Chains A and B, each alone.
Chain A
Amino acid sequence: MIINILHLLILAVLFGFPAQSQENSGPLRIEITEGIIEPMPIAVTQFLAENAGAEAFASQLTDVIIRDLAGSGLFRNIDPSAYIGSISNFNAPVSFPDWKAINAQALITGAVNLTSDNQMVVKFRLFDVFGQENLIGLQFAASSQSWRRMSHKVADQVYARLTGEDPYFDSRVAYIAEEGPKSNRKKRLAVMDYDGANTRYLTGSEDIVLAPRFSPNAREIIYTSYETGVPQVFLMNVDTLSRRVLDSERNMTFAPRFSPDGRNVVMSLSNGAKSDIYSFDIATGQKLQLTDTAAIDTAPSYAPDGSQIVFESDRGGGQQIYVMSANGGSAQRISFGKGRYGTPVWSPRGDMIAFTNINNGRFHIGVMRTDGSDEKLLTGSFLDEGPTWSPNGRVIMFFRETQGSVGAPSLFSVDITGQFLKMVPTLTFGSDPAWSGLLE
């Protein structure tokens, strides 16, 4: 079953809560700094099923919310066996001392209701336990098919309220699903929820496909395919799967990315001798050459305001990262550390650039400011490659390939402090992840 997840309507309604006594305290807030982060202990209580139909969903919803929040590395869910109090009525006043006693900084309660036409209502509240304050009361309504999205939306609300930052859980990832031996790898274009659920394959494995990227509204994907015999950038509609080659001429094109407004695609075009960066107007098909050197210019990525492009080039002798105007012209090198630098990606916040660094036979994912300062390597292995930013610019997903004849790639994520590295589950080997923006 394919859930057309992009066309779901999720209604959110705010609701109040009877006032309870409040102690004066600062806002409950986890400060995300460069230092070591101690996860905030929280209690996500089992969501209550308000009718029989909702029972099948209540635990699953709760589990997804817990996995989202704990998986961010910023929160630690307190095991229910430590609970003193319990939540048996969503609307009953909360006994804060019970939750203070187990040092729960935040308390999340919820309830699920399923109507006969499979419409689901998910209600939840977020409490500041020590401030004795109801921070959020909200309900979502949608088809029960989208229960996972509703779970992510609840977790997003909690994350945003407690961090003061934009959330990222209700998002998708396009990637390349890989199967078979290293000498005969089969690749398919796939999309999934950010946490690995709801995988959907968009192509077969007849032709090599590489490096998909979402359009800003996640309705379209650009990727490289060998369908015509040479690598060429294709534009695909995610819903209908209709696709077309972007460049009407038979050039080798690769490494595409959308402009922030979704109107242009910037990518490499190779005539063999050299690879230059071009921008393509999707509507008109017009292309504009942005670089013109004898070098390899590739892996372009727009700044979120669309004014600049970061890319890699070996024009200086080795593979390094440069920034230029979105209209082309002179470029400024920004990478000066040890080794080679490639696959730069501009953060959605605009403040950082993620990259792949190759040094002494090891591959690293790292971040630097847009002027190249404050470089920090976050990972290292035989082969870490291809960073992509979470919608809020807090987390980077990439792929890690193991070495040797049975080597294979898997998806990983790491936060930009480098402290929370974890594997992202996929049904097959996975590579070339591309995170969407937050879904509408």
Chain B
Amino acid sequence: MTCIKIGMTLACVLALTACDDFRGNNSGMNGNGSGVDPSLTDVNNPMSVGYFNQTIGDRVLFQVDQSILTPTAISTLDGQVSWLLENTNFTTKIEGHADEQGTREYNLALGARRANVVRDYLVSKGIAPNRIDIVTYGKERPLAVCSIEECWSKNRRAVTLVATGLLD
């Protein structure tokens, strides 16, 4: 089981080891000493991944074919910045996604752009670039599968995954 398969980062929390190894990323989140710490899943623990995902908010949403951060998105990212500045043992991987209303290659590039906008914002607020990795999934990993705006709006997202350990 991987976090990607489930399609929800919350699930990654419950299976952090699997998540650390997501998509066979050899150089990525295979952190040192990243065994499953029960506190990481405790949403009441402000230092937990669960708290980050649920209370801080692990994702920002985008308008159709856009990669501009909305005021809501900036507010979420400010929360991520504060959290990452306090929890310096965490690194991040930012996934950029697109809805299905675009061609495959374009959506890969669009997802990359969205992930990059989030990375740039975090870096501009003082997060070290070497704590951040980005990846685009284009339209390959929809979170919601209906073919109307209600679902598409959820899929146009950049998700900040946090894990203990170091990136290369």
Do B109 and A210 touch across chains, with their CB atoms under 8 A apart? no
B105 at interface by CB-CB < 8 Å:
yes
- Specify the chain A residue showing the minimal Cβ separation from B29: A229
Q: When the two chains form their complex, are residues A296 and B135 in contact, meaning their CB atoms are under 8 A apart?
A: no
* Nearest-Cβ distance from residue A321 to partner chain B, whole angstroms: 12
B105 interface neighbour in A181, A182, A255, Cβ under 8 Å:
A255
Cβ of A432 within 8 Å of any chain B Cβ, yes or no, is: yes
Across the interface, which residues of A come within 8 angstroms of B134, CB to CB?
272
Select one of A206, A226, A273, A358 contacting B101, CB under 8 A.
A358
Q: Which residue of A lies closest to B110 (CB)?
A: A296
**Interface 1/0 per residue, A325-339 and B, CB below 8 Å:** 000000000000000
The interface residues of chain A lying within 8 Å CB-to-CB of B102 are 319, 342, 358
By a CB distance below 8 angstroms, the chain B residues around A184 are 5-7
* Chain A, range 163-216, C-beta contacts under 8 Å to B: 181-185, 206-208, 210-211
A382 within 8 A of B: yes
Q: Is A157 an interface residue (CB 8 A)?
A: no
A386-415 vs B, CB cutoff 8 Å, 1 = contact: the mask equals 100000000000000101110100000000
Per-residue A-contact encoding for B100-129, CB less than 8 Å = 1, 0 else: 111111101110110110011000000000
B147 at the binding interface (Cβ < 8 Å): yes
Contact assessment for B103 and A386 in the assembled complex, using a CB-CB cutoff below 8 Å = yes
- Residues of chain B lying within 8 A (CB to CB) of residue A436: none
Q: Once the chains bind, are B119 and A272 in contact (CB under 8 Å)?
A: yes
Taking a contact as CB atoms under 8 Å apart, the answer to whether B106 and A270 are in contact is no
A403:B147 contact, CB within 8 angstroms:
yes
Which residues of B are found within 8 Å of A385, using beta-carbon distances? Answer: 103-104
Alpha-carbon distance A185/B141, docked complex (angstroms)? 8
> In the complex, what residue of chain B is closest to A382 when comparing beta carbons?
B147
Q: Which residue of B lies closest to A255 (CB)?
A: B105
- Chain B, interface size category, equals 35 or more
B28, B120, B135 pick with most chain A CB within 10 angstroms: B135
Q: A229-B26, A407-B147 are in contact. Are A273 and B116 (CB under 8 A)?
A: yes
Q: Is the CB of B113 within 8 A of A343?
A: no
Q: Which residue of B lies closest to A355 (CB)?
A: B103
Bound-state Cα–Cα, A407 to B22, Å: 26
Query: A383's closest neighbor in chain B, by CB?
Result: B100
Contact A208 B146 (CB under 8 A): no
In the assembled complex, A70 has its CB within 8 A of some CB on chain B:
no
Do B22 and A229 have beta carbons less than 8 Å apart? yes
Q: How far does the Cβ of B138 sit from chain A's closest Cβ, in whole Å?
A: 8
Instruction: Verify B101–A361 contact, CB threshold 8 A.
Output: yes
Docked pose: A262 CA to B65 CA in angstroms = 34
> Closest Cβ of chain A: how far from B123's Cβ, in Å?
11
Instruction: Give the shortest distance, in Å, between B70 (CB) and chain A (any CB).
Output: 19
Q: Which of A270, A274, A386 has the most CB of B within 10 A?
A: A270
* Minimum CB distance partner of B112 in chain A: A270
Q: Find out whether the CB atom of B24 lies under 8 angstroms from the CB atom of A206.
A: yes
Chain B residues whose CB sits within 8 angstroms of the CB of A342 once the complex forms: 102-103, 105-106
Asked if A315 is an interface residue, CB under 8 A from chain B, the answer is no
Q: Is the CB of A254 within 8 A of B105?
A: yes
| A36 CB to nearest B CB, Å | 31
Please, which residue of chain A has its CB at the minimum distance from the CB of B120?
Answer: A273
Q: With an 8 A cutoff between CB atoms, is A252 at the interface? A: yes
Q: A184-B5, A272-B112, A272-B119 are in contact. Are A386 and B136 (CB under 8 A)?
A: no
Name the residue on B nearest A401 (C-beta): B100
B113 touches A296 (CB 8 A): yes
Is A228 on the interface with B (CB-CB < 8 A)? yes
For the complex formed, measure the closest distance between the CB of B2 and the CB atoms of chain A, giving whole angstroms. 9
- Pick 18 A–B contacts, CB within 8 A, sort by A: A183-B142, A183-B143, A226-B24, A229-B25, A254-B109, A272-B119, A275-B109, A299-B105, A312-B103, A312-B106, A319-B102, A319-B103, A342-B106, A358-B103, A361-B101, A403-B147, A405-B146, A405-B147
| Besides A228-B24, A231-B136, A405-B146, 8 other A-B contacts (C-beta < 8 A) | A184-B5, A206-B24, A224-B108, A228-B25, A229-B27, A270-B109, A274-B113, A385-B103
Which residue numbers of B lie inside 8 Å of A, CB to CB? 5-7, 22-28, 100-106, 108-110, 112-113, 115-116, 119-120, 134-138, 140, 142-143, 145-147
What are the 4 closest A-B residue pairs judged by CB atoms, nearest first?
Answer: A229-B25, A272-B116, A403-B147, A275-B109
